[in-house]
Structure formats: structure tokens, C-alpha cells
């Protein structure tokens, strides 16, 4: 280690920590640790390797410092993020203060927030100056994607939060040995996080919360926050770095689950699926009878003339609302039996966690994110405080706790992708399941055109229809036109690209009643699997290929043991042409703001418009699926 680095860090480390850092022969890493220590000025530095002893030390530190509290079940803990009132809290991603640091005069296009790099670094230096005085700086090593793989990205996380470090132990593969293999060269991601001043174990300076991403250095800064979406650097913050790396190297980094869907005669087909937060992504990936590779983030590469995918993570950081033994039996079991689990922002009563929609009555009193709680308690704004934070109570567990974990979840070669699904919350327009005509049509009309109604996972009003291409807009670190172009080109690199589908679990009738039951998604996924293998037909419509009634009727009986009536089919798969046309116009306006958007995007959208208008002239504003069977699209 360089002597100047040694002079900074050695007084703050014990012999074990110093030896672990010196064993990693990478001067860039040493410089990062030394610079962080000199800036943040911790009382001590703890460097951790992949050992059980180091991971257990972190877990105990989280309890000792009060960032987590032990629950009744051994190995289970609870963490609360700051909540002052409905206007000021640390319960969701802070979009307003998340910025990319760019050289003066550079930007990433409309809708992507940037800040002059020198200005941002100066501000961050001021915020971090001495912020760890009296604290322990934790240096952790992880790997995004399977280790010893073309998909592997080593990462180092520096934090003063044992909760953040403990969470990453559950969610990501250990990476100390990966850094040993990296040696003196090679690219890795860096994260520097400081929770800042704490009061009652939660962040006290929320107005000074900042999350800055330095793309030049593959470095994420996060300060004055504990909420995992802002502080656990390897999740969505590292996704931003990975998207840029993928753009440079010719692969895709996506906000997608990966799952294996079981077909007839022992067949298995792997799907990826992109959904905005709280739109059904985890529940889809965890469908009973199927196998899960990962529920949130995926890397996709072309290998041997096929597209393969890996789970970036090795754990689940999921929304816990409506997880119950009926709707999510495997998750519900895990949350009661896992060897280790972290709950966040739930209600605790008698050292037991409770959450909304868990299938039983909740206690009238307890402790939650707002402190001591009782039914009817209101915040300083006069809003009633829910027992657990609606839409953003969370849990973190290791994937190995799942009985339905796919045997290839850690395969360094990835799994072959047969289908790609895009889905969001759409109460008015989209049919429950639809197949694109081809790769380009799917990328444009289902991926790049994705809209969704907002949830509590991000700050701001709920229920607002937002444009969110590939469910990844919040995390883009390259211009949107280049991102869409990369997707279009990616499928063209293989002879038989995956089929593309869309789903919508949230369709309602005029009275606001859901037209889909919660378990219907099991039928939609089975239909998609059979379509890939040519086992079922489809009806060609103006927006894509829709299921035939007879096939869905048989699948409802086989998969759910229930009948499926024609009236439900007609209501669910009725195309509302005015709404479809209005959506295309909204999408064209949004995509048109990106100056380099490929021309094929607008060609595809205009073709969709022409088909819809043709049908409108033929049958009126509503096109029922049986209408489609009686005619051929010209």
C-alpha cells in the first residue's frame, strides 16, 4: 500500500482490518478508502472480508447501535427510517436530490437530472467533512452478478451504517475474493454512504439529504439518509452505473425479474420482466409452481447466439404489503421461518412484525416508523398514520431461504431468455396479457411506451399516470434515445430473439372494480410460455396478439381449478380505442423530446395508430376480442 494511504488509514484500523485491505493489491481501492477516511474522519475503520465472523460482527453492530431491533424470531430484526410527518420523511427514493455529476455543459437529455460535477463534488465534500466523527467506517466488498463470471461487477461499499451493511449481506453476493481476483487492474463500482447525524437512531438532517452519482469515477455518494433505496448503494444506485457500463460494452442492465416458468412434459422456459415498483414484479417472479432466479434486477448478454440473463442480486428487498398465506404463500412462510430477515417500517407489537394485508387483524397499538403508535394517531399535518408504511414497508431476506429458488440462480453462464414481459399499473386501458408482433414492435409499443400509475415507492402523489420506458426511466444514466436504440439493436444480435409480452394486473371497470383476480397472473404467465413453444394460438389485433378464449378457459381450469366465462374474457380483452390512441400520443410526445430517438420508434407508433383507427371505423370505439376473430388485419 502506498505510504501516504497507509499514514491515513493505519491509525484507524486494527491489525486484522489493515491486513485485509493490504491483501487486495489495488491502488485505486486503497486511494478510495484513504480519501474517504480523510474526509469523513471516523474514529475507526472496520474492513470486512467474506467470513461468517465479519458478517456476524456487522449484524451485532446494527443491534448495538440501535439501527435495528431484535424481534421474537431468532435472527429477525426491524429497522425504522425517519418520519417527521407526511411532508418530511426518509421513506422513499428522493428523486429531487438524486443527480448525476457531469462536466460543465454536458447533460443526459430531458428528464435526467444532472449537476455540474465540480459544484456537486464541492457540495458533497462539505456535507461529508467530519460526518463520521465518533463513528465506525465500515468497508464492505460485494459482487453484482454471479462471481467468476462475465457478468461479475465487483463493488466496494463504505458506510457508517451497520443497517446498510447488514442489508447488503442479505441482498448481494460476497465480493472480497472477487477483489483478490481483480488484482491491480480492472473496473469496479464504489459507494460512499454516510447516514449523518442521528436522533433516536434515525437520520436527523433530511433537508440535507443528497444522492450524487459521479459517472466518471463509477462512484455513488449518499448522505443524510438511511432508506435503502437511497443508501444501499448496490441496488438502484449501482444500476445507474451498470446501465452506463452496459452501454459502453454492448449488453443490458435492467430493472427486471428473472424466473423459470414450467410447461408441459417437464419443460422450463426462462422469462425476464420489467415492472415499476409496487406493480406486481415480486409476486409474479414468486408465482407458486414456478422457480425464481431473481425478483428485481438483471443483466442480459448475448452468449453463443442467444440472450442470457443473471440475477444481479442474491436476496430480496421486497414490499411487504399484502403478503399473506393466500396470495404469497412462499414469501409468507419465509417471513416467519427465515434464519435471518430484516423488516423495515412495519408495526411491531410484542416483538412480532405486522403489516397491511397480512391476512389477520392488526394490533391496535405498537411501535412503528412514527414511534409509539395507536389506532387513529395522526401526524403533524393531520394525516392518519398507517400501522405500517403504506406501499413501502419492506423486508430483506436471502434467496436461499426460498424453496422455489431456481437451481440455476447462481449459474455464471446465466439462463437463456425465452420471453420478456413489460407491465405497469393501468386501471383504464391495457388488456391483461398481450404478445407483440416481433422484437421491434415489442420494444417500442410495450417497453419504450410503458406507462404506470405512481405508487408510494417514490415521493410525490400516488395514482398519477407516468411515462416509464422499460420501468427504468428513474435509473437511466445515458440519454433515452440511446437506451431505446440499444434495446432495438440488442434483439437483432441473435437469430431468434425472445418473444415480448405486456401484462396489466390493475384493469378496473367503470365502477372501480378490478377485472382481474390476484391469482389470474398464473394463467397469463402459462399462456405466454405456451405461446413461445407454439402450443396455443392467438388472435391478431391492432396492438398485438391476444389470447383465444378457449385457451384461457382451459388454462383457468388446469392452473386455478376454476371456470372462466366468456363475459369476463370480453370485458378484460376489450380494446378501448380512444384510450389507446391517447396513450400513443402521450408516448410520442415524451419520446419525441429525445432528439436522437430512432425513426423506427415513430414508424411503429404510427402503424399502431393506423391499425387502431381502421378498427374504429369498422366497429366503433370498443373492439371486442370476438370481433378480431371475424376479420383479418390488412
* The total number of structural domains that make up the chain: 3
Q: Which of 465, 469, 372, 399 is nearest to 427 (CA)?
A: 465
> Which residue, of 401, 421, 443, is where some domain finishes?
401
| Cβ–Cβ < 8 Å for 425, 351 | no
Q: Please report, for the domain that includes residue 373, its CATH number.
A: 2.170.8
pLDDT band at 461 (very low <50, low <70, confident <90, very high): low
> Which residue, of 204, 231, 249, is where some domain finishes?
249
Please give the Cα distance from 183 to 185 (Å, whole number). 6
135 and 179 both lie in a single domain: yes
Q: Which of 218, 166, 157 is nearest to 193 (CA)?
A: 157
> Is 82 inside a domain boundary?
no
> Is 83 inside a domain boundary?
no
pLDDT band at 633 (very low <50, low <70, confident <90, very high): very low
234 and 260 both lie in a single domain: no
440 and 507 both lie in a single domain: yes
| Cβ–Cβ < 8 Å for 546, 573 | yes
> Is 447 inside a domain boundary?
yes
**DSSP, residue by residue, 12-62:** GS-HHHHHHHHTS--HHHHHHHHHHHHHH--SEEEE--S-HHHHHHHHHHH
168 and 269 both lie in a single domain: no
474 and 546 both lie in a single domain: yes
Other beta carbons within 10 Å of 382 = 8
Burial of 411 (0-12, 13-18, 19+ CB in 10 A): middle
560 and 624 both lie in a single domain: yes
Q: In Å, what is the CA distance from 432 to each residue of 124, 270, 419?
A: 46, 20, 16
> Which residue, of 401, 435, 453, is where some domain finishes?
401
Cβ neighbours for 271, distance < 8 A, ≥ 6 positions apart: 258, 259, 260, 261, 417, 418, 419, 420, 421, 525, 528, 529
The 10s digit of each residue's pLDDT in 53-85 is: 999 999 999 999 999 999 999 999 999 999 999
pLDDT, average across residues 460-483: 87
pLDDT, average across residues 175-202: 93
> Is 73 inside a domain boundary?
no
pLDDT, average across residues 614-632: 88
Please give the Cα distance from 222 to 29 (Å, whole number). 18
Work out whether strand 219-223 and strand 189-194 pair parallel, antiparallel, or are unpaired.
Answer: parallel
The 10s digit of each residue's pLDDT in 509-534 is: 988 999 999 899 999 999 999 999 99
415 and 554 both lie in a single domain: yes
> Is 200 inside a domain boundary?
yes
Residue 463: per-residue pLDDT: 61
> Is 76 inside a domain boundary?
no
DSSP summary character for residue 582: H
Other beta carbons within 10 Å of 220 = 25
Boundaries of domain holding 600: 253-313+409-629
Q: Which of 544, 515, 545 is nearest to 530 (CA)?
A: 545
22 and 109 both lie in a single domain: yes
- Residues known to be catalytic: 279
Euclidean distance between the first and the last CA atom of the chain, given in angstroms as a whole number: 70
pTM: predicted TM-score of the whole model, two decimal places: 0.94
**Angle at Cα 396 formed by Cα 418 and Cα 232, nearest 5°?**
90
Residue 105: per-residue pLDDT: 84
Residue 418: per-residue pLDDT: 98
pLDDT, average across residues 88-108: 91
pLDDT at 548 over 80: yes
493 and 549 both lie in a single domain: yes
Q: Please report, for the domain that includes residue 188, its CATH number.
A: 3.40.449.10
In whole angstroms, what separates CA 98 from the centre of its chain? 16
> Is 537 inside a domain boundary?
yes
Give the mean pLDDT of the chain: 94
242 and 262 both lie in a single domain: no
pLDDT at 320 over 80: yes
447 and 299 both lie in a single domain: yes
The 10s digit of each residue's pLDDT in 239-253 is: 999 999 999 999 999
| Cβ–Cβ < 8 Å for 226, 345 | no
The 10s digit of each residue's pLDDT in 138-165 is: 999 999 999 999 999 999 999 999 999 9
pLDDT at 462 over 70: no
pLDDT, average across residues 114-120: 96
pLDDT band at 588 (very low <50, low <70, confident <90, very high): very high
Amino acid at each position: 500500500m502506498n505510504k501516504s494511504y497507509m499514514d491515513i488509514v493505519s491509525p484507524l484500523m486494527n491489525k486484522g482490518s489493515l491486513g485485509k485491505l493490504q491483501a487486495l493489491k489495488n491502488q485505486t481501492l486503497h486511494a478510495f478508502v484513504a480519501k474517504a477516511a480523510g474526509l469523513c474522519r471516523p474514529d475507526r475503520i472496520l474492513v470486512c472480508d467474506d467470513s461468517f465472523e465479519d458478517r456476524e460482527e456487522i449484524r451485532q453492530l446494527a443491534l448495538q447501535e440501535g439501527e435495528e431491533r431484535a424481534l421474537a424470531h431468532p435472527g429477525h430484526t426491524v429497522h425504522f427510517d425517519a418520519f417527521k410527518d407526511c411532508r418530511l420523511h426518509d421513506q422513499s427514493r428522493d428523486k429531487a436530490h438524486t443527480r448525476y455529476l457531469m462536466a460543465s455543459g454536458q447533460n443526459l437529455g430531458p428528464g435526467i437530472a444532472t449537476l455540474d460535477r465540480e459544484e456537486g463534488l464541492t457540495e458533497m465534500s462539505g456535507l461529508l467533512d467530519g460526518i463520521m466523527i465518533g463513528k465506525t467506517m465500515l468497508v464492505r466488498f460485494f459482487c453484482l452478478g454471479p462471481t467468476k463470471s462475465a457478468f461479475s461487477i465487483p463493488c466496494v461499499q463504505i458506510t457508517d451504517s451497520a443497517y446498510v451493511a447488514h442489508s447488503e449481506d442479505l441482498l448481494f453476493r460476497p465480493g472480497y475474493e472477487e477483489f483478490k481476483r481483480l488484482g491491480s487492474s480492472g473496473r469496479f463500482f464504489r459507494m460512499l454512504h454516510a447516514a449523518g447525524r442521528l436522533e433516536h437512531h434515525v437520520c436527523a438532517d433530511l433537508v440535507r439529504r443528497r444522492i450524487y452519482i459521479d459517472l466518471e469515477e463509477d462512484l455513488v455518494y449518499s448522505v443524510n439518509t438511511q432508506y435503502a433505496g437511497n443508501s444501499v448503494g448496490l441496488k438502484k444506485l449501482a444500476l445507474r452505473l451498470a446501465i452506463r457500463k452496459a452501454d459502453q460494452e454492448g449488453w443490458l442492465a435492467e430493472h427486471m425479474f428473472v424466473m423459470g416458468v414450467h410447461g408441459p412434459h417437464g419443460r422450463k422456459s426462462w422469462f425476464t420482466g420489467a415492472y415499476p415498483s409496487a406493480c406486481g414484479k415480486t409476486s409474479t417472479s414468486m408465482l407458486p409452481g414456478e422457480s425464481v432466479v431473481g425478483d428485481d434486477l438483471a443483466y442480459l448478454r448475448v452468449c453463443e447466439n442467444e440472450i442470457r440473463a443473471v440475477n444481479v442480486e442474491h436476496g430480496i428487498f421486497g414490499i411487504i404489503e399484502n403478503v399473506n398465506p393466500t396470495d404469497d404463500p412462499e414469501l409468507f412462510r419465509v417471513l416467519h421461518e427465515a434464519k435471518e430477515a430484516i423488516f423495515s417500517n412495519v408495526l411491531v407489537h410484542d416483538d412480532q412484525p405486522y403489516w397491511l394485508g397480512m391476512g389477520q387483524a392488526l394490533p391496535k397499538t405498537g411501535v412503528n416508523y412514527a414511534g409509539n403508535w395507536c389506532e387513529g394517531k395522526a401526524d403533524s399535518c393531520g394525516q392518519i398514520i398507517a400501522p405500517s408504511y403504506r406501499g413501502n414497508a419492506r423486508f430483506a431476506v436471502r434467496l436461499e431461504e426460498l424453496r422455489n429458488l431456481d437451481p440455476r440462480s447462481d449459474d455464471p453462464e446465466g439462463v437463456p431468455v425465452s420471453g420478456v414481459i413489460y407491465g405497469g399499473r393501468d386501471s383504464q386501458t391495457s388488456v391483461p396479457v398481450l404478445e407483440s408482433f416481433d422484437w421491434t414492435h415489442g420494444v417500442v409499443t410495450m417497453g419504450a411506451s410503458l406507462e404506470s400509475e405512481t405508487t408510494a415507492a417514490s415521493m410525490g402523489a400516488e395514482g398519477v399516470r407516468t411515462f416509464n420506458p422499460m420501468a427504468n426511466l428513474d435509473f437511466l444514466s445515458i440519454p433515452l434515445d440511446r437506451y431505446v436504440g440499444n434495446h432495438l439493436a440488442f434483439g437483432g444480435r441473435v437469430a431468434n430473439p425472445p418473444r415480448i409480452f405486456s401484462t396489466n394486473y390493475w384493469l378496473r371497470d367503470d365502477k372501480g372494480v378490478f377485472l382481474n383476480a390476484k391469482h389470474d397472473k398464473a394463467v397469463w404467465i402459462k399462456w405466454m410460455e405456451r405461446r413461445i413453444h407454439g402450443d396455443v394460438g392467438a388472435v391478431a389485433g391492432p396492438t398485438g396478439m391476444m389470447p383465444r378464449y378457449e385457451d384461457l378457459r382451459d388454462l383457468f381450469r388446469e392452473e386455478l381449478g376454476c371456470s372462466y366465462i366468456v363475459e369476463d374474457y370480453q370485458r378484460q380483452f376489450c380494446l378501448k380505442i380512444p384510450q389507446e390512441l391517447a396513450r400513443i400520443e402521450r408516448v410520442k410526445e415524451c419520446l419525441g423530446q429525445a432528439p436522437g430517438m430512432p425513426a423506427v420508434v415513430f414508424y411503429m407508433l404510427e402503424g399502431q395508430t393506423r391499425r387502431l383507427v381502421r378498427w374504429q371505423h369498422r366497429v366503433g370505439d370498443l373492439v371486442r376480442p370476438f370481433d378480431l376473430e371475424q376479420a383479418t388485419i390488412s
